[in-house]
Amino acid sequence: MNKILTSLLSLGLACSAALAAEAAITAVKVTDSLDGIKADSAIWSNAKFSTITLYPQTAIEMNDKKANELTENAKAKKAQVAALYDGKNIALMVKWADGSKDLQSGYASTTYSDGFAVQFAGATAKPQPLPYIGMGSVGRPVVVHLQKANEKVYEPNGNKDVGNQINRQQTGVFGQELADFDAKVASLAVTDYERIFVGEGFRSLTEVKDGSIKSNSSMVYGANGWSGILTRSLKDDYVNLSGTVPVSIAVWDGSKMGRNGLKNLSSWIAINLDGQKQNAAMVTDLTTDSKGDASKGKAALEANGCNGCHQMNAADPKSFMAPSLKNVGGYSTAAYLRESILKPSAVVVPGYNRNAHSNTPWYNLEKGKRISTMTDYSHLDKATVEDIVAYLKTLKAEVE
């Protein structure tokens, strides 16, 4: 059965509805350079789009009542992703529906913009398990390319009063001054909001500003929503992309006050560079389902008290004891879920509410290392772990 599913997947058939895992994306090799390409460049006609699903990230909750209300019971979103590569660069296009065009306006902190990010696993000396999906983890770095939609703004004090600094009524007298002023404002305006970060876990994100990562991203809004593109080098100090490239995609919705962790996010998805030797083990890991029995897994999970600490479904009461698992099946790989059960401290989700709920910290510091407060389940037999993993993979929001 699994073999049939795998070969269906490799044919690229749209059977993702029945499957938790996403099909691999093919990055098509092009001979023309990808330098300077835009969302509407003709070269994209070579690309093959695949559908992926982005799930609301619900591992941690922000201290923002209104935003939490807006995103309560948020649904998953579909996105179309395609990739191209030349000898030097890889380019990705992500298309997703969004009913309103929300732009970052100046530095106002009360409005939020739409945006997207592409996360790559950072290069490490040794082969490693994939980094944690939320900004990497200790020893497993990620590189995150973030692009926010913004309007051309120049507001040194954030009061939107630059226009009031000149008299617009008397164009006859001040016509030239007005034109000079507008040109000056335009030249000072921020026209792009593109950032690159490296991270090894929550709150460890460091912006890379020294130009050591060569990349370019942009977003255009059209009748079907946003198209975002990112072009970056295949190789630099931080990544070394060849064969099979795992990426994860996130999108933010400004109208839902989305920012930081309030986003929709995919699991790690395999992009195969067409014509190069693929990482078969990784492709299998990322594109096939857990072999466990989900209904046995649900029973085992309850018997082991997992739901005593974790919220499993939106209908269950929220818990401050541990991250909500209600979307964990959407954005986690089976390997990550397995590791979470067997080695809770390998990757630690720190929790945002440490101050508000210091009676239930999610980790303790021991010799500077974060040790999870989760029970160690390494005694569970392999079959039971697989069953629990299969059940966890079913925990995810419906698609909107």
337 binds ligand HEC (CB under 6 A): yes
Tell me the site size for ligand HEC, rule CB under 6 A. 28
Closer to ligand HEC at the Cβ: 202 or 252?
202
Q: Is 338 in the site for ligand HEC (CB under 6 A)?
A: no
| Nearer to ligand HEC among residue 258 and residue 323 (C-beta) | 323
Site track for ligand HEC across 274-303, x = CB under 6 A? ---------------------------x--
Amino acid found at 53: T
Asked if 305 interacts with ligand HEC (CB under 6 A), we say: yes
SS (H, E, C) the chain: CHHHHHHHHHCCCCCCCCCCCCCCEEEEECCCCCCCCCCCCHHHHHCCCEEEEEEECCCCCCCCHHHHHHHCCCCEEEEEEEEEECCCEEEEEEEECCCCCCCECCCCCCCCCCEEEEEEECCCCCCCCCCCCCCCECCECEEEEEEECECCECCCCCCCCHHHHCCCCCHHHHHHHHHHHHHHHHHHCECCEEEEEEECCCCCCEECCCCCCCEEEEEEEECCEEEEEEEEECECCCCECCCEEEEEEEEECHHHCCCCCCCEECCCEEEEECCCCCCHHHHHHHHCCCCCCHHHHHHHHHHCCHHHHCCCCCCCCCCCCCCCCCCHHHHCCHHHHHHHHHCCCCCCCCCCCCCCCCCCCCEEEECCEEEECCCCCCCCCHHHHHHHHHHHHCCCCCEC
Backbone φ and ψ for 32, nearest 5 degrees, come out as -70, 155
Question: Contact between 328 and ligand HEC (CB under 6 A)?
Answer: yes
* Cα 397 to Cα 324: distance, rounded to the nearest angstrom: 12
Nearer to ligand HEC, 24 or 269 (CB): 269
322 lines the binding site for ligand HEC (CB under 6 A): yes
Question: Min. distance of Cβ 396 from ligand HEC in angstroms?
Answer: 12
Distance CA 74, CA 123 (A): 33
Among 341, 390, 395, 397, the residue binding ligand HEC under the rule CB under 6 A is 341
Using CB under 6 A as the binding rule, whether residue 91 contacts ligand HEC is answered as: no
Residue placing its CB nearer to ligand HEC in the complex, 86 or 339 = 339
Judged by CB under 6 A, the stretch of 90-98, 230-238, 255-263, 369-377 that binds ligand HEC is 369-377
Look up residue 101 and give its two tokens: 């065009």
175 scored as a contact of ligand HEC (CB under 6 A): no
Q: Least separation, in Å, of the C-beta of 393 and ligand HEC?
A: 11
Q: Of 27 and 349, which has the nearer Cβ to ligand HEC?
A: 349
Per rule CB under 6 A, is residue 349 in the interface with ligand HEC?
yes
**Residue 213 lies near ligand HEC (rule: CB under 6 A):** no
Name the residue nearer to ligand HEC (CB basis): 34 or 325: 325
374 binds ligand HEC (CB under 6 A): yes
Rounded CA-CA distance 132/201 in Å is 7
Judged by CB, which is closer to ligand HEC: 27, or 348?
348
Query: At its nearest, how many Å lie between ligand HEC and the CB of residue 291?
Result: 17
Based on the shown chain and the rule CB under 6 A, indicate whether residue 142 belongs to the binding site for ligand HEC.
Answer: no
Under the criterion CB under 6 A, does residue 59 sit at the interface with ligand HEC? yes
Instruction: Based on the shown chain and the rule CB under 6 A, indicate whether residue 310 belongs to the binding site for ligand HEC.
Output: yes
Smallest gap from residue 391 Cβ to ligand HEC (A): 8
| DSSP H/E element including 251 | strand 244-252
Q: Cβ-closest residue to ligand HEC?
A: 306
What is the β-pairing status of strands 244-252 and 269-273? Answer: antiparallel
Q: Which distant-in-sequence residues (6+ apart) come within 8 Å of 177 by Cβ?
A: 166
- Asked if 388 interacts with ligand HEC (CB under 6 A), we say yes
Which C-beta is closer to ligand HEC: that of 22 or that of 386?
Answer: 386
Residue 372 within binding range of ligand HEC, rule CB under 6 A: yes
By the rule CB under 6 A, 395 interacts with ligand HEC: no
Binding site for ligand HEC (CB under 6 A): 59, 301, 304-306, 308-310, 321-323, 325, 328, 337, 340-341, 344, 347-349, 362-363, 372-375, 377, 388
